[in-house]
């Protein structure tokens, strides 16, 4: 069955979402599996995200493609609606996806399936009698203790009609696919898909579902390492005796974000800051401002956070967690719902602030001023770091231990 010393094989699946956190979680578990003689096979939507490579000895397979059917005008407010917008609301689109997962799992014959935001694999593996454990952020693992999955838009009353429509459509599609594939154990609702045991690779205070049942397993953030990251920590200006030292700012953003240029212009106009910035998808940028150093390759974020006064980024789970554990205030420029929700959670613990939507240059400058000089946010970040200190180390072995604890439960369901 496998080349590992234990004779076991794990399938590590990522299907939905574009963040590198999914890759980080699965490659971390692949490395842990290899060290224990388990053969890991990663099934992922992209074989080299941001130029990253899988660990030596790990096979990569492209996962069955999702079908993006578009979201409603008001956006999505629950994982059920998100599933509906990715092909789960119609037998026509769901059947080929789940047929491919069935065939892939049947062919590979894994002893277990570990999923990080892979609802197709999560639905099919238990139907084939294969133990499955969820690994992911709170957003990707909605609490499924009730008949319907909850809304993640906790600040407003959701559209009940839209939620009900999505629930009905997804359930009907799952029932039809169950008959077509002769899989009587296939889940019959969105909530049933997510009832597998779970390990959350996040911090409790960053869980997108505050009403999660007691007993949830949190392993903390798992790191992603880049093959093309700079090997050493870039230097900051040498302090001048007697002079006011500039604030140290680390920016980790994408060039295609509408706020990327305004925020960099606002930083360049401040002589009281010095900035190291990695701007994804930018090449040969003219580095004209004396207080900015723009890097074309990823920076060693975790190593740099100990000397940073402010982190500016989009709100990915890994970067947010690492900055919070380092006690660094954050200014978030979210690009998707999960990142926006993460920013709200940071604001709740007074460790960061959101900047999103259409903004004038004045508004961007004011937001930057607040982020740099907000004592309450600085104190909130430090307090949050103390409260979460147990997650500050390497969490890979802890995550594997929790997954192994979950596997017998998964096998019995």
pLDDT band, residue 298 (cuts 50/70/90): confident
Q: Are residues 195 and 318 in the same domain?
A: no
Residue 228 lies in a domain: no
Separation of alpha carbons 296 and 246, rounded Å: 23
Residue 323 lies in a domain: yes
Residue 1 lies in a domain: no
Q: What is the DSSP string of 212-250?
A: PPTT-EE--------TTS-SSPPPPPPPPTTSPPPEEEE
- In 3-state terms, what secondary structure has residue 37? coil
Q: Are residues 345 and 398 in the same domain?
A: no
Percentage of residues in the chain with pLDDT exceeding 70? 94
Q: Which residues pair with 295 in a beta bridge?
A: 278
Looking at the structure of the chain, the number of domains it has is 2
Phi, psi of 252 (to 5 degrees): -135, 90
Q: Are residues 13 and 32 in the same domain?
A: yes
- In 3-state terms, what secondary structure has residue 287? coil
The average pLDDT across 195-199 equals 96
Residue 298 lies in a domain: yes
Residue 337 lies in a domain: yes
The domain spanning residue 308 has which CATH number? 3.40.50.2000
The average pLDDT across 45-66 equals 85
Radius of gyration of the chain (CA): 22
Q: Are residues 285 and 162 in the same domain?
A: no
90-135 residue pLDDT tens: 999 999 999 999 999 999 999 999 999 999 999 999 999 999 999 9
Looking up tokens 């580095």 gives 287
Separation of alpha carbons 35 and 30, rounded Å: 9
Q: Are 11 and 41 in contact (CB under 8 A)?
A: yes
Q: Are residues 372 and 398 in the same domain?
A: no
Percentage of residues in the chain with pLDDT exceeding 90? 69
pLDDT of residue 73: 56
Q: Are residues 259 and 216 in the same domain?
A: no
Name the pairing type of β-strands 352-354 and 330-332: parallel
Q: What is the pTM of this model?
A: 0.90
Domain encompassing residue 371 = 247-391
H/E element holding 236? none
Least reliable range by pLDDT among 51-65, 127-141, 328-342:
51-65
Average pLDDT, the chain: 90
The length of the chain in residues reads 413
pLDDT of residue 408: 86
- In 3-state terms, what secondary structure has residue 45? coil
Q: Are 202 and 324 in contact (CB under 8 A)?
A: no
253-278 residue pLDDT tens: 998 899 999 999 999 989 999 999 99
Q: Are residues 205 and 156 in the same domain?
A: yes
H helix runs in 283-355, sequence order: 301-304, 317-325, 337-348
Q: Are 67 and 93 in contact (CB under 8 A)?
A: yes
CB atoms within 10 A of CB 175: 15
């Amino acid at each position: 069955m496998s080349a590992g010393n234990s004779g076991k094989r794990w399938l590590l699946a990522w299907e939905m979402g574009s963040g590198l956190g999914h890759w980080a979680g699965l490659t971390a578990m692949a490395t842990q599996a290899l060290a224990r003689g388990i053969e890991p096979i990663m099934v992922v939507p992209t074989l080299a995200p941001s130029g990253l490579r899988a660990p030596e000895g790990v096979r990569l397979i492209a996962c069955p493609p999702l079908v993006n059917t578009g979201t409603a005008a008001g956006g999505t407010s629950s994982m059920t609606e998100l599933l509906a917008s990715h092909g789960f609301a119609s037998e026509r689109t769901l059947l080929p996806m789940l047929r491919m997962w069935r065939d892939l799992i049947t062919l590979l014959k894994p002893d277990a399936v570990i999923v990080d935001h892979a609802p197709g694999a999560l639905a099919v593996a238990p139907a084939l009698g294969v133990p499955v454990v969820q690994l992911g952020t709170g957003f990707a693992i909605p609490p499924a203790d009730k008949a319907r999955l909850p809304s993640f838009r906790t600040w407003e009353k959701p559209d009940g009609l839209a939620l009900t429509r999505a629930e009905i459509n997804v359930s009907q599609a799952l029932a039809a696919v169950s008959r077509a594939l002769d899989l009587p154990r296939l889940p019959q609702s969105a909530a049933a898909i997510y009832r597998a045991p779970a390990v959350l690779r996040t911090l409790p205070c960053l869980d997108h579902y505050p009403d999660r049942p007691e007993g949830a397993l949190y392993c903390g953030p798992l790191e992603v390492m880049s093959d093309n990251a700079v090997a050493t920590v870039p230097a900051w200006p040498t302090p001048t005796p007697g002079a006011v030292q500039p604030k140290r700012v680390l920016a980790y953003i994408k060039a295609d974000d509408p706020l990327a240029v305004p925020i960099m212009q606002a930083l360049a106009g401040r002589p009281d800051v010095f900035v190291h910035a990695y701007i994804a998808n930018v090449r040969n940028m003219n580095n004209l401002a004396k207080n900015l150093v723009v890097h074309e390759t990823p920076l060693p974020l975790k190593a740099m956070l100990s000397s940073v006064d402010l982190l500016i980024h989009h709100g990915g789970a890994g970067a947010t967690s690492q900055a919070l554990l380092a006690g660094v205030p954050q200014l978030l420029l979210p690009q998707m719902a999960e990142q926006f929700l993460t920013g709200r959670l940071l604001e709740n613990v007074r460790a960061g602030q959101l900047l999103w939507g259409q903004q004038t240059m004045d508004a961007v400058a004011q937001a930057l001023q607040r982020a740099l000089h907000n004592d309450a946010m600085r104190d909130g970040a430090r307090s949050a770091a103390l409260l979460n200190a147990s997650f500050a180390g390497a969490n890979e072995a802890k995550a594997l231990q929790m997954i192994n604890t979950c596997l017998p439960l998964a096998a019995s369901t």
